[in-house]
Amino acid sequence: MNKTLWLLFLLLIVPLNLMAFSPEPFEVVEFSILHTSDVHAHLMAFDGPTGNGVGGYARIKKYKDSLEEQGREVVMLSSGDAFQGTYFYRFFQGIPDFEFMSNTGYAAMTLGNHEFDSGQEALAEAASYAKFPLLAANIVFKKIPQLQSRIKPYTIVNAGKSENPVKIAIIGLVPEELKEIVQPMFVSDFDVCDAAVAIRRYLPEIRAQKPDMILLLSHLGWERELELFEEFPEIDGILGGHTHLAIDPPAVVMGDRGHRFMSQPGEWGQHVTRYDIAFYRNSDHKVDVLSAGLVPMNKEKPEDKAMAQTVLKLWQQIEDKVNVVLGTAEVFLNGERDFIRNMETNLGNLVADCFADYTSADIALINGGGIRSSIATGSITVGDCLNVLPFDNYLVKLKMSGASIKRVFEKVAQEIEHAGGFGGFLQVSRGLQVNYSGLLSVKFNGKELVDDQIYTVCTIDFLAAGGNGLAGFTEAVEAESTGKLTGDVFMKHIKAAASVAPVTENRIILRQTVKKVKMPKGTIKSIPTPPRD
């Protein structure tokens, strides 16, 4: 090849900035990042909103293995909330989740809020089965020695060929409002600090180890992750979770060292976010995102047969317990996250009415974040009910003034504009009407709540303690626990009713607004999507 053709070839394949600033021939290291978050104990394939027979660790593992069989180096990461959401967690307390993730080959995971749902002792027990680092830079544990030693603020993993790998520092972050969204008894004896403070604390220590890239594994939610993305330009990427957003394509921008990126992969393992990365040594331009996007874990994707068999054996241990039929749903009972946390749904009405009936309360209120699943038309099983109300919450009967009840809804009104929905959005029982469309209005049996009048309110212990930041509940002048778990009360209601067909009744009136997901400034639109096969 003559000199002219050779220069033309270089111009076609090599970014000009690499040629201009490399003191010696540059070296390219390519690898892929696969990212999941908010799988919520969906261990096996399930019928979900994106299709039938989707998700499951056996499918995720097979996909990762298939890339490695093609010769790709893969780094597998999770942004937390592996626990809670199906009956698998109720029966097995997260242990098989960590076993499957270990066998899949996860390199690291940050803790989410739901990792604390059964307390720190249960988390410590499950953590002993994780063969990968668990991260939380903004928690200082005090009580459980296993957690103090096991949960690290960051880790460093290698990507690319073993003889000359790319060193990636990964910082883990849990929700800053952790103590507002977990039962207080489980999180009262450790400290949670501001995420930015934690990052600034550990960055000097991390830089001293001279990593090639720095990533955040975050369970903070999209809006906070975006703030950190803009505050810390030295962070190459943020792999996020908590708000369950399916960001496709991921946000990629140009930074001082090349491409920077951030994304969330949705929920329940229905998708995996994939980044194909090129890292350039001996160049000021270090990082290129060659392709990025969500890859659906649908039924066209094969499963790892051995792992699928292991999951099936777990299912067989509980199948007889959860397949007991309690009644019939004449209509689809809508508990989908995008609805239950944002508007009135027929399932929200059914659950709230069930609680009001059980306690003979004037009003029953249940947070949308406490309802975790829908129920399809047809038979309603024990497993369906446990998936709808998986938390071990107890029903509580409160006596509250009208003024305190309105303060609860004022807080909801402040939060409902956030992208991804608000876990504290309240579904309400019959007789109550909440109007958010203008000046907040809360009516009971057609009349505005009277500030100094006392009403009986049924809710769950989590909310009664001010959970989701709804501090108005703590103003109750009297509180009485029923000693009954929400799931048990709901199952009893379904069995007694035999069939249910709830409807929406204009109990909740909303402002007509469109919630937009804000993206980073300078997002590049031309990044290719990875192959979907």
> In this model, does residue 396 exceed pLDDT 50?
yes
Where do we find the tokens 């309603």? 380
User: Among the listed ranges 1-5, 154-158, 206-210, 400-404, which one has the minimum average pLDDT value?
Assistant: 1-5
> In this model, does residue 410 exceed pLDDT 50?
yes
Query: What pLDDT was estimated at residue 17?
Result: 45
Assign 161 a pLDDT band (cuts: 50, 70, 90).
confident
Return all residues near 8 (Cβ < 8 A) that are at least 6 apart.
Answer: none
> In this model, does residue 224 exceed pLDDT 80?
yes
Assign 516 a pLDDT band (cuts: 50, 70, 90).
confident
User: Among the listed ranges 47-61, 289-303, 321-335, 444-458, which one has the minimum average pLDDT value?
Assistant: 47-61
Alpha-carbon span 162 to 234, nearest angstrom: 25
Closest CA to 336 of 421, 217, 225, 251: 421
In eight-state DSSP terms, residue 114 is: G
Domains, in order of start, for the chain? 14-307 (3.60.21.10), 324-509 (3.90.780.10)
Q: What average pLDDT does the chain have?
A: 93
Mean pLDDT of 355-373: 97
Alpha-carbon span 395 to 408, nearest angstrom: 18
Q: Going by DSSP bridges, is the β-strand pair 154-159/166-173 parallel, antiparallel, or unpaired?
A: antiparallel
Query: What pLDDT was estimated at residue 11?
Result: 40
Q: How does pLDDT run across 422-473, given as a tens digit for each residue?
A: 999 999 999 999 999 989 999 999 999 999 999 999 999 999 999 999 999 9
Instruction: Give the per-residue SS3 of 337-382.
Output: HHHHCCCCCHHHHHHHHHHHHHHCCCEEEEEHHHCCCCECCEEEEH
Alpha-carbon span 375 to 272, nearest angstrom: 25
Mean pLDDT of 513-533: 87
Q: Going by DSSP bridges, is the β-strand pair 27-36/271-281 parallel, antiparallel, or unpaired?
A: antiparallel
> In this model, does residue 395 exceed pLDDT 50?
yes
Residues 74, 106 contacting (CB under 8 angstroms): no
Query: What pLDDT was estimated at residue 145?
Result: 83
Query: What pLDDT was estimated at residue 72?
Result: 95
Query: What pLDDT was estimated at residue 513?
Result: 67
Assign 408 a pLDDT band (cuts: 50, 70, 90).
very high
Instruction: Give the per-residue SS3 of 442-456.
Output: EEECCEECCCCCEEE
Q: Provide the 10 A C-beta neighbour count for residue 248.
A: 17
Q: Provide the 10 A C-beta neighbour count for residue 353.
A: 19
Phi and psi at residue 126, in whole multiples of 5°? Answer: -65, -40
Assign 162 a pLDDT band (cuts: 50, 70, 90).
confident
Where do we find the tokens 């800053």? 176
pTM of the entire predicted model? 0.91
CA torsion through residues 421, 422, 423, 428, sign: negative
Q: What is the C-alpha radius of gyration for the chain, rounded to an integer number of angstroms?
A: 25
Alpha-carbon dihedral 6, 12, 14, 17, rounded to 10 degrees: 110
> In this model, does residue 418 exceed pLDDT 90?
no
Query: What pLDDT was estimated at residue 514?
Result: 63
Query: What pLDDT was estimated at residue 26?
Result: 75
Mean pLDDT of 90-96: 96
Closest CA to 434 of 456, 400, 411, 401: 411
In eight-state DSSP terms, residue 115 is: G
Percent of the chain clearing pLDDT 90 (strictly above):
86
Query: What pLDDT was estimated at residue 25?
Result: 65
Alpha-carbon span 198 to 137, nearest angstrom: 6
User: Among the listed ranges 48-57, 226-235, 440-449, 492-501, which one has the minimum average pLDDT value?
Assistant: 48-57
Q: How does pLDDT run across 31-61, given as a tens digit for each residue?
A: 999 999 999 999 999 998 888 899 999 999 9
Query: What pLDDT was estimated at residue 433?
Result: 98
Q: How does pLDDT run across 481-491, given as a tens digit for each residue?
A: 999 999 999 99
Mean pLDDT of 505-513: 88
Closest CA to 457 of 436, 483, 437, 431: 431
Assign 108 a pLDDT band (cuts: 50, 70, 90).
very high
Residues 362, 457 contacting (CB under 8 angstroms): yes
Query: What pLDDT was estimated at residue 18?
Result: 45
Mean pLDDT of 384-389: 96
> In this model, does residue 533 exceed pLDDT 80?
no
Query: What pLDDT was estimated at residue 20?
Result: 42
User: Among the listed ranges 8-12, 202-206, 279-283, 471-475, which one has the minimum average pLDDT value?
Assistant: 8-12
Mean pLDDT of 303-315: 97
DSSP output for 296-334:
E--TTS---HHHHHHHHHHHHHHHHHH--EEEEESS-B-
CA torsion through residues 289, 290, 293, 297, sign: negative
Closest CA to 378 of 334, 324, 336, 327: 327
Alpha-carbon span 173 to 194, nearest angstrom: 9
The total number of residues shown for the chain amounts to 533
| Burial tier of 469 (Cβ tally within 10 Å: 0-12, 13-18, 19+) | middle
